[in-house]
Amino acid sequence: MIERDPHGLPRSQGGFLDASLSVGGHNLGQTLLELRAILENATIGIMFTRNRVVSRANPLCASMWGYEPDELIGLPSAALHPSDEAFAELGREAMPVLAAGRTYRTERPMMRKDGSLFFCRISAKAVDPRYPRQGTIWIMEDVSEDRLIQDALDKSARELAGIFETSPIGITVVRNARVVRCNRRFEQLLGLPPGAAMGLSVERLFARGDEAAALISNTYDELLAQGYQRGEFLLLRSDGSEFWANCSGHVLDPADPAVGTVWLVEDISRQKAAEAQLKRALEQQETIFDNAAVGIMLTHNRTIVRANRRLEEIFGYGPDDLMGRLASVLHPSEEAFGRVRERALGAIRQGETFIIEIPGQCKDGRHIWLRVTGRRTDQERSSLDVIWIFEDITERHLAERALVQARDELEQRVTERTAELATANAQLQGEIFERMQTEQRIWHLAHHDALTGLPNRALLHDRLGQALAQAERKGRRAAVLFLDLDRFKSINDSLGHAVGDELLKQVAQRLGGAVRSVDTVSRLGGDEFVVVLNDMICVDDVVLVAEKIIAALGPPVRVDAHDLRVTPSIGISIYPDDGSDAMQLMKNADTAMYHAKSLGRNNFQFFTASMNDEAIRFFNLENRLRAALDQGELVLHYQPLVDLRQRAVVGMEALVRWNDPEQGMIAPGEFIPVAEETGLILPLGEWVLREAMRQNRVWQEQGYPLLPISVNLSPRQFRQRGLVETIRAILAETGQPARLLELEITEGALMQEVGETLSKLEELAAMGVRLTIDDFGTGYSSLSYLKRFPVHKLKVDQSFTRDLCEDREDAAIAAAIIGLAHSLELDILAEGVETAEQLSMLMGYGCHKFQGYYFSRPLAPSQTDTLFHPSSILEGATDWGLVASP
């Protein structure tokens, strides 16, 4: 076995490795010795491995790994590595290279014996690539220190690169006036794409190209002299726009300026713009200050340090006169200034704006009014700097004072006027109240009957309209009761208006008591009343009310000393059966009322269609009568008035007839009431008067004896104004003496408006006209009046004559009337005498003058034989032996 040294080489002493050993002529021993010397003294580690075990290593290797030289030989190669994985990785990388006979190079961490690591640069090569088992030679170098330096260098280079690339400031390295390096920011500032700045001439970067060269050379000179240079330059972007840049440059190596310079480039366009803006603002502020329309003043601790032109103008000072003076100079007095200052200081010290309106004093002593605004300009300093604004409000102040004065005056006037108005208003209120009361009175008067206080026609229509609307809404009925008091006219005529009025009042009260409060009782006028019954469910209810009314009016009405009996005739129309509107219903109720009257009074009648026909007939009759009057269809018949004692005709009564071409002769009973109601009686009556007088003249001219003619005067005709004049004119016209005219007036007509009647009768009597009371006994006559009236004759109404023989009461009345006439020394005539019995009885009562069919019917004027010589006169005279009497 060959003895080996710690490096794995055969030991020389006592072995084959000595200088004498030679092979093939080479001195092998010498070679080995030289090799050992190399290994032992090499400054790099040399190691041989075979089968992943260290087979030989020089001392440096041992010291590098911290082993004793002997300890390395035979050590597995893996023990030298930090881990088995690191060793395996090296193997994977190195094996292919070594097998290819090439040198494998690497730098890797290795692990010392003590576990510490060091960095090793390695070169390895196979001893014989053909025979891997021959092993591998490894050249090792400890590069840990280099490595640390390099790492530090790399780190700082990375940090610099990071700064370089992320810097918000453009950075460029310039060499020979060209950009040799720059960061992205630098390119962005110039508007260049990445890499485009490289190699650019510095001159190209400047906006003013012509100035660039001089600028650059100056800058460079200073840069080189100081090693540092800073300046603001106007640079040019690639798109032609310009920007201001702050550029600071450093020489990279002052010892060798040729290495170049580094420049930091910052865009200060905004800053420049802000500066320009600030400058402009200051200039503007200055302009405003100088030209402001208000006075502006700056004070420092009460001293005026600045004042604008306007302030000087306001106070009448020259330019800069106020500078350095105390602010009190602008106030009327030191005390006034002190007071203002005291008030202002609190607010101003707290940084608030102080506003006040005060008087100020001009240079010439004149006082003006000012609005002063003050505000502190130095918030932090201990001294007090204040800006004051002065507005001259003298004119406004004066105007305001004038206004206040005017307002005060106005208020005074308003107060006075208000008082006046209040008085006027109170008066007005009073007047309005009075007027309202008057209006209410007027309304009441306009809508109520003055006598009874009942609703009048106008209000009735209103109420009726409401009742109909209500009935329609509820699907009920309403009734209209038209009520007329039978024989009221007679009472009125005979007992006077006062009695009649009182009677109507009491009737009104009784009617009101007979119906419900919701119903309406109204008076149309005269003795006509209308009752409206609301909300009637059936016609039977209406019957009940009508009966209630008749019952209510049943008991006699006490007026003065009279017990008056009035009975109603009631006509009823029902809504909607008898008409859909107020007018129709009223008309139909009226018609029904006439029907009730014609049926004997004191009863009620519902409207029927036949009644309506009757009304229509009445209407037609009126029209026809009017035409008849015009067309001369009226004629007069005459009936003789006989005096049996004289056995002579002592007068004629004119009775009108209507000779209708279609109907023949119509009796006055049919058309006189129509004429009376419509007013046609006035022309008709006048015609009768004229015709009667004319006929009498004709008879006189024919030789017949002079006889008075009796003419009927209807009540309306008698009341007619101008009646006396008309009669006088007719008598004159026909040439008849007044004593040949006898006027027959009914009792009722005479007893109306007694005073007027009396004067009219007296006028007629004075004229010579004779007056007869017709139908005596049917109305109410006051004996005292009878005595006073210039009446000549009474006519016993034919109703008493008719039943004289059968009815003792009628006989008694006839006898009484005849007796009355005698006692009043009035002429007496009984009408309607048809029989000898009647004649006999009447003569027995002392009546000698008669009119009736017994002597003659009314005849046409041509029948003079009968009219002037009624045969019955002689017969009567014979029968009753009157011929012999005187």
Ligand X SMILES: Nc1nc2c(ncn2[C@@H]2O[C@@H]3COP(=O)(O)O[C@H]4[C@@H](O)[C@H](n5cnc6c(=O)[nH]c(N)nc65)O[C@@H]4COP(=O)(O)O[C@H]3[C@H]2O)c(=O)[nH]1
Based on its alpha-carbon atoms, the radius of gyration of the chain, rounded to whole angstroms, reads 79
* Under 8 Å between Cβ of 244 and 267: yes
List all residues 6 or more positions away from 864 whose beta carbon is below 8 Å from its beta carbon.
699, 702, 704
Instruction: Select the span of 239-247, 499-507, 665-673, 870-878 touching ligand X (CB under 6 A).
Output: 665-673
Give me the 679-708 binding string for ligand X, x by CB under 6 A, dash otherwise. Answer: ------x--x--------------------
Q: How far is the CB of 699 from ligand X (least distance, A)?
A: 18
Out of 29, 260, 500, 668, point to the residue binding ligand X (CB under 6 A): 668
CA distances for 700 relative to 386, 695, 696, 703, angstroms: 139, 9, 6, 5
480 vs 828 by CB, closer to ligand X: 828
Sheet with 261-267, edge to edge strand ranges: 178-182, 170-175, 261-267, 242-251, 228-236
CA distances for 292 relative to 309, 310, 388, angstroms: 8, 7, 13
Please return the burial class of 840, using the count of CB atoms within 10 Å of its CB with bins 0-12, 13-18 and 19+: middle
Instruction: Select the span of 234-242, 456-464, 514-522, 650-658 touching ligand X (CB under 6 A).
Output: 650-658
Q: How far is the CB of 717 from ligand X (least distance, A)?
A: 6
Distance CA 457, CA 525 (A): 8
Q: How far is the CB of 692 from ligand X (least distance, A)?
A: 8
Does position 779 bind ligand X by CB under 6 A?
A: no
Distance CA 469, CA 581 (A): 10
317 vs 718 by CB, closer to ligand X: 718
* Under 8 Å between Cβ of 571 and 593: yes
The interface with ligand X within residues 737-766 (CB under 6 A) comprises: 744
Out of 195, 853, 869, 883, point to the residue binding ligand X (CB under 6 A): 853
- Considering only CA atoms, which of 239, 176, 240 is closest in space to residue 207? 240
58 vs 734 by CB, closer to ligand X: 734
Q: How far is the CB of 857 from ligand X (least distance, A)?
A: 7
Q: If phi over 0 gives left and psi between -120 and 50 gives alpha, with beta otherwise, what is residue 679? A: left
Q: How far is the CB of 774 from ligand X (least distance, A)?
A: 5
29 vs 668 by CB, closer to ligand X: 668
The interface with ligand X within residues 706-735 (CB under 6 A) comprises: 712, 714
182 vs 740 by CB, closer to ligand X: 740
337 vs 776 by CB, closer to ligand X: 776
Does position 872 bind ligand X by CB under 6 A?
A: no
Q: If phi over 0 gives left and psi between -120 and 50 gives alpha, with beta otherwise, what is residue 530? A: beta
Q: How far is the CB of 669 from ligand X (least distance, A)?
A: 5
Out of 136, 452, 639, 872, point to the residue binding ligand X (CB under 6 A): 639
The interface with ligand X within residues 210-229 (CB under 6 A) comprises: none
5 vs 831 by CB, closer to ligand X: 831
List all residues 6 or more positions away from 841 whose beta carbon is below 8 Å from its beta carbon.
804, 805, 811, 814
DSSP string, 266-307: EE-HHHHHHHHHHHHHHHHHHHHHHH-SSEEEEEETTEEEEE
Give me the 173-212 binding string for ligand X, x by CB under 6 A, dash otherwise. Answer: ----------------------------------------
The interface with ligand X within residues 15-54 (CB under 6 A) comprises: none
Q: Which residues pair with 742 in a beta bridge?
A: 710, 770
Instruction: Select the span of 222-230, 528-536, 663-671, 872-880 touching ligand X (CB under 6 A).
Output: 663-671
Does position 672 bind ligand X by CB under 6 A?
A: yes
Question: What DSSP character marks residue 525?
Answer: E
531 vs 709 by CB, closer to ligand X: 709
Q: How far is the CB of 487 from ligand X (least distance, A)?
A: 17
Does position 640 bind ligand X by CB under 6 A?
A: no
587 vs 849 by CB, closer to ligand X: 849
Residue pointed to by tokens 């209507």: 658
Distance CA 782, CA 652 (A): 28
Q: How far is the CB of 569 from ligand X (least distance, A)?
A: 21
Q: Which two tokens stand for residue 119?
A: 């960095």
Q: How far is the CB of 853 from ligand X (least distance, A)?
A: 3
The interface with ligand X within residues 108-167 (CB under 6 A) comprises: none
Instruction: Select the span of 256-264, 397-405, 803-811, 852-860 touching ligand X (CB under 6 A).
Output: 852-860
Instruction: Select the span of 272-280, 374-382, 648-656, 734-742 touching ligand X (CB under 6 A).
Output: 648-656
133 vs 721 by CB, closer to ligand X: 721
List all residues 6 or more positions away from 116 whose beta carbon is below 8 Å from its beta carbon.
66
Does position 852 bind ligand X by CB under 6 A?
A: yes
Handedness of CA 165, 167, 173, 179 (dihedral sign): positive
Out of 45, 135, 568, 858, point to the residue binding ligand X (CB under 6 A): 858
Backbone φ and ψ of 424, nearest 5° = -60, -40
Three-state secondary-structure class, residue 852? coil
Please return the burial class of 16, using the count of CB atoms within 10 Å of its CB with bins 0-12, 13-18 and 19+: middle
171 vs 804 by CB, closer to ligand X: 804
Count CA within 13 A, CB hemisphere, residue 309: 8
Does position 667 bind ligand X by CB under 6 A?
A: yes
Q: How far is the CB of 479 from ligand X (least distance, A)?
A: 36
How many residues in the shown chain lie near ligand X by CB under 6 A? 24
Does position 774 bind ligand X by CB under 6 A?
A: yes
Instruction: Select the span of 214-222, 253-261, 599-607, 662-670 touching ligand X (CB under 6 A).
Output: 662-670
**Chain centroid to CA 721: how far?**
65
Q: How far is the CB of 634 from ligand X (least distance, A)?
A: 9
Q: How far is the CB of 797 from ligand X (least distance, A)?
A: 7
Distance CA 357, CA 390 (A): 10
Distance CA 652, CA 630 (A): 26
494 vs 534 by CB, closer to ligand X: 494
536 vs 750 by CB, closer to ligand X: 750
Residue pointed to by tokens 């891997």: 132
307 vs 680 by CB, closer to ligand X: 680
Does position 340 bind ligand X by CB under 6 A?
A: no
Distance CA 265, CA 170 (A): 5
Distance CA 156, CA 164 (A): 12
* Under 8 Å between Cβ of 40 and 17: no
Q: How far is the CB of 672 from ligand X (least distance, A)?
A: 5
55 vs 712 by CB, closer to ligand X: 712
433 vs 853 by CB, closer to ligand X: 853
587 vs 690 by CB, closer to ligand X: 690
Helix, strand, coil content of the chain in percent (nearest 5): 50, 25, 25
Q: How far is the CB of 744 from ligand X (least distance, A)?
A: 6
Number of residues written out for the chain: 886
The interface with ligand X within residues 812-851 (CB under 6 A) comprises: 831-834, 851
Task: Calculate ∠ Cα 320-322-324, nearest 5°.
Answer: 100
Out of 372, 655, 743, 761, point to the residue binding ligand X (CB under 6 A): 655
Q: How far is the CB of 665 from ligand X (least distance, A)?
A: 10
639 vs 736 by CB, closer to ligand X: 639
Contact residues: ligand X, CB under 6 A? 639, 654-656, 667-669, 672, 685, 688, 712, 714, 744, 774-775, 798, 831-834, 851-853, 858
